[in-house]
Chains A and B, each alone.
Chain A
């Protein structure tokens, strides 16, 4: 029961941010559908991309560069740093605010002195992170779906992007679980945010550099972003292996967060 009370408290506290992040992601996905090249423009865009430097082409994604298509461009929207940033903000904000943030501000004493188990606190934070990520990922897909209602693109349908949005949710659920683990070990919200931002940015940069620089290509599996490739999902479907890696990392990090928080001094 107290999980629900805490969950309501968290959602009330972060509700405005959630609305803003979801709306921004929906608007962003909708905007992408407006700028996707039509079939008549693809030859010109293909020429431009062929001239682009390798790092830029890597950033855009293999399918976009190799074979310019509306699907590929829309898929690029799902790995665009802006969309990823909005998902990251929610995962880090809620995970760090719920545990380390409450400890740092001193409000954890009021919660911890009541009949609230440590596991209920972590569970409420985990549900809030996941529920918010679901809403933001759903908003991202909804933006695409609404955009495609107003701009018909040959061979592209909104349901194609459901697995992509679902994988973005899984990726950030895993990162959110890592953020919860960090939060469970820290005494200040600010310190936890710094750690999480470092881990997220480090993971993203590692994935990018490993794709651009073949000498460190072997390090790519260490980045969680390696297991989230929208254009490959659109082309080949969801990889069971990627799902398994993200799910296992998320589950292990969450279990560790429960274990650490249950044993620490508040």
Chain B
């Protein structure tokens, strides 16, 4: 792949299952070395997009490239550079964890150079790997899924709901793993509906709703564009309608008012509040969650 080529491009990608439109006119571009968040509620088309990018299913319209290769159902060789964690990860119940990793590494045609480190960080010991996968808990299966996806040091990791079923400690370990991916220049495409996770991990996000991208951009840009929640408390009643010039009043009590304010409106509001008998002021930082909810309400 040329060093400047994008890791993923999608151009007008669509998928229908019979009469159901799972994805409509999806266009996006993910650069090499980027950690890209793919957000959306259940059924929005996140998994369908990933399966299209892998060539597991054929698009009804549009085209996609992955690591510089046009995605086709039959194309195979370029997948050795890809690590994939399915949203509903399933394994062969008769194999042990270790046998599963060996089998999948052989299919990847690359040595599992990162396996030991991943197992250590995710807390999967030799005793666990010696057990048949059918005895694993959901969390252990998810950890095994992460290891099989990343053990061969892929150039591109497609991770569908990667922290599902993981406890908070293991989630922290996963965040560290993604940070390492970023450091070594790998690309990660992470589908999730855990907003704090995407906010923490990703450089850019795309938000999907009912099979359509409703927003795509930098996480920081989303955050900046988002209105802040400002809660002001006063020593005595004030003219709350006067504050409406500086933002949208969403809650108004006798001695407290809550507003939604854009970044541009904020200095003027703060200056105005300084002229009032202010006793407390809380300005909540904008979150991706607010943006997400705004798009999906």
Shortest B144–chain A CB gap in Å is 11
Given contacts A107-B90, A107-B91, contact A113 B84 (CB under 8 A): yes
Asked if B1 is an interface residue, CB under 8 A from chain A, the answer is no
- Determine if B78 and A115 form an interchain contact, defined as CB atoms under 8 angstroms apart: yes
Bound form: Cα–Cα A120–B92 in Å: 19
Please tell me which stretch of A1-9, A55-63, A138-146, A151-159 contacts chain B, meaning at least 4 of its Cβ atoms lie within 8 angstroms of it: A1-9
Bound state CA distance, A220 and B86, in angstroms?
A: 48
Chain A facing B: main interface SS: helix
- Chain B 89-104, CB within 8 Å of chain A: the 1/0 string? 1111010000000011
Distance from A190 Cβ to chain B, minimum over Cβ atoms (Å)? 15
Is B88 interfacial (CB-CB < 8 Å)? yes
Give the number of chain A interface residues (Cβ < 8 Å): 27
The chain B residue sitting closest to A263, CB to CB, is B73
Q: Is B275 close to A, CB under 8 A?
A: no
User: Does B76 lie within 8 Å of A115, measured CB to CB?
Assistant: yes
Residues of B within 8 A of A (CB): 51, 54-58, 73-74, 76-80, 82, 84, 86, 88-92, 94, 103-104, 106-109, 148, 158
CB of B108 within 8 A of CB of A115, answer yes
Additional pairs, 4, CB under 8 Å, beyond known A6-B107, A115-B77? A1-B109, A107-B92, A114-B82, A263-B73
Known A114-B79, A114-B108, A115-B80; contact A109-B103, beta-carbon cutoff 8 A: no
| Interface residues in A98-144 (C-beta closer than 8 Å to B) | 105-107, 109-120
Docked-complex contact B108 and A109, CB < 8 angstroms: no
Q: Give the distance to chain B from A150, nearest Cβ to Cβ, in Å.
A: 37
> Would A5 and B76 count as touching, CB distance under 8 A?
no
Is B56 within 8 A of A113, CB to CB?
A: yes
Given contacts A13-B94, A110-B86, A266-B56, contact A115 B107 (CB under 8 A): yes
**Which 6 pairs show the lowest CB-CB distances between chains A and B?**
A106-B90, A113-B84, A265-B57, A117-B76, A114-B107, A115-B80
Instruction: Identify the closest chain A residue to B90 (Cβ).
Output: A106
B159 nearest CB across to chain A (Å): 12
Q: Does A262 contact B (CB under 8 A)?
A: yes
Tell whether, in the assembled complex, residue B103 and residue A9 are in contact, meaning their CB atoms are under 8 Å apart: yes
> How far, in angstroms, from A198 to B57 measured CA to CA in the complex?
29
Could you list 30 examples of A-B contacts with CB < 8 Å? A1-B109, A2-B109, A5-B103, A9-B103, A12-B94, A13-B92, A13-B94, A105-B90, A106-B89, A107-B90, A109-B84, A110-B86, A110-B89, A110-B90, A110-B148, A111-B107, A112-B54, A112-B56, A113-B56, A113-B79, A113-B82, A114-B107, A114-B108, A115-B107, A115-B108, A119-B74, A263-B58, A265-B57, A265-B58, A266-B57
Indicate which residue in B78, B86, B107 contacts A109 across the interface (CB closer than 8 Å): B86
CB-defined contacts of A264 to chain B, threshold 8 Å: 73
| Most B Cβ at <10 Å: residue of A110, A112, A117, A262 | A110
B73 and A262: CB pair below 8 A?
Answer: yes
Q: Which of A212-266 contact B (CB under 8 A)?
A: 262-266
* Chain B residues, Cβ within 8 Å of A265: 56-58
- Given contacts A107-B92, A110-B86, A266-B57, A116 and B107 within 8 Å (CB-CB): yes
CA distance A42 to B191 in the complex (A): 75
> Does B107 lie within 8 Å of A2, measured CB to CB?
yes
A20 to chain B, nearest CB (A): 15
Distance in angstroms between the alpha carbons of A264 and B78 in the assembled complex: 20
User: Which residues of B are found within 8 Å of A116, using beta-carbon distances?
Assistant: 76, 79, 107
Q: Which B residues lie within 8 Å of A5 (CB)? A: 103, 106-107
Question: How far does the alpha carbon of A2 sit from the alpha carbon of B73 in the complex, in Å?
Answer: 17
Beyond A5-B103, A13-B94, A263-B73, whether A115 also contacts B109 by CB under 8 A is yes
Q: How far is the CA of A5 from the CA of B105 in the complex (A)?
A: 10
- Which of A5, A113, A116 is packed against the most chain B CB atoms within 10 Å? A113
Complex Cα gap A113–B107 (Å): 10
CA distance A111 to B109 in the complex (A): 12
Q: A2-B107, A263-B73 are in contact. Are A114 and B80 (CB under 8 A)?
A: yes
A266 to B89, CA, bound (A): 15
Give the residue among A111, A112, A115, A265 with the most B Cβ atoms within 10 A.
Answer: A115
